[in-house]
Amino acid sequence: MYPEKTPIIEAYRASEELGTVGIKTQLVVANLIIPEEQAITPFFRKRREMQEKYLNEIKDSFPSAQMLKVPMFEREIKGLDMLQRVSDTIF
């Protein structure tokens, strides 16, 4: 999910619904996080601050799940080279 209000609500609802059939949420993925070192303009600093607030909300909404944070890359995650880069970054 993106670290924004609506995706958090949607993911929480999905998690609750899956819980009714015995499927527990064990991992949540926060995607498109602006890297701290890239938050150098006022716009991106504000967006990063907003994301930090929502990352805390994600932790509170899914207390028993691990959170995997995927940074925003300069281009779309498409193709084997970008998949490898994402893998190298998050693992």
Average pLDDT by stretches of 10, the chain with 91 residues: 97 97 97 95 97 98 96 95 94 87
Give bridge partners of residue 29 from the DSSP assignment.
68
Residue 71: predicted pLDDT: 96
Tell me, what's the pLDDT at 91? 87
For residue 2, the model assigns a pLDDT of 95
**91 Cβ contact list (under 8 Å, min separation 6):** none
- Nearest 5°: the CA angle 83, 89, 68 is 95
DSSP string, 28-80: EEEEEEPPGGG--SHHHHHHHHHHHHHHHHHHHHSTTSEEEEEEPPSS---SH
d(CA 63, CA 38): 28
Question: What pTM does this model have?
Answer: 0.88
